[in-house]
Amino acid sequence: MKTVLKSNLFRIFAILLVNIGLMSFVASYQQPGGWTVPDKYKNMKNPTKSDPANLKVGKSLWDKHCVSCHGKKGLGDGTKAATLKTHCSDFSAKTFKAQTDGEIFYKTKTGKGEMPAFEKKMADETDIWLLVNYIRSL
Ligand code: HEC
């Protein structure tokens, strides 16, 4: 009797473990997050102001480099987005907005997977900071 109970408990435990494994696999598959932003960047201050003149520059950079994938409002619905395997993220999401300027700066600078790195294309880091302000204004 005791051994039957034990082996049943073991079975339930094994099934639970497999399920937890599957669930976390599905979660990681659905959420192409997983960026790690170094602390140094997280706390960086945006050296540019979000004023109308700067936002205008930000918009022109956005239209040139980002709109094809991220779309006009940053919803991840640009014309190129459908050809990608990874979703381009939704910049209107709370979790996106909760990020620091430094985190958005780092992600734009270094890229990941299908998100290109812009550190070479935008050698002047000020341009990336201007984009961060523009993204916040979308
Ligand atoms: C070729 C398509 C493409 C272009 C062009 C592109 N991105 Fe992306 N971007 C992506 C994809 C795909 C992801 C999601 C990557 C991931 O999570 O693995 C992403 C993610 C991001 C993220 C992180 C989103 C989050 O949820 O934290 C930021 C910030 C970002 N892009 C900014 C930009 C900016 C700014 C530009 C223009 C300078 C740009 N991207 C141009 C495809 C693109």
> The CATH number of the domain where 76 resides is what?
1.10.760.10
Q: How confident is the model at residue 11 (pLDDT cuts 50, 70, 90)?
A: confident
For residue 111, the CA-to-ligand 1 centroid distance in Å is 7
Distance CA(136)–CA(18), nearest Å, equals 41
Both 51 and 116 in one domain: the answer is yes
CA distances from 75 to 7, 32, 71 (A): 51, 15, 6
Range of the domain at 101: 39-137
Which two three-digit tokens encode residue 10?
């073991």
Model pTM?
0.82
Nearest C-alpha to atom 10 of ligand 1 is from which residue?
115
Burial of 138 (0-12, 13-18, 19+ CB in 10 A): middle
pLDDT tens sequence across 72-118 = 999 999 999 999 999 999 999 999 999 999 999 999 999 999 999 99
Cα 94 versus chain centre, distance: 12
For residue 115, the CA-to-ligand 1 centroid distance in Å is 5
For residue 52, the CA-to-ligand 1 centroid distance in Å is 24
Both 21 and 53 in one domain: the answer is no
| Closest ligand 1 atom, residue 61 Cα | 38
Cβ atoms of 75 and 90 within 8 Å: the answer is yes
Both 25 and 43 in one domain: the answer is no
Both 93 and 126 in one domain: the answer is yes
Q: Which of 107, 136, 120, 124 is nearest to 42 (CA)?
A: 107
Which two three-digit tokens encode residue 75?
């919803």
Cβ atoms of 60 and 79 within 8 Å: the answer is no
Distance CA(120)–CA(123), nearest Å, equals 5
C-alpha count within 13 angstroms, C-beta hemisphere, residue 104: 23
Number of domains the chain contains: 2
Ligand 1 and 86: CB distance under 6 A: yes
pLDDT tens sequence across 31-41 = 346 899 999 99
| pLDDT over 70 percentage in the chain | 79
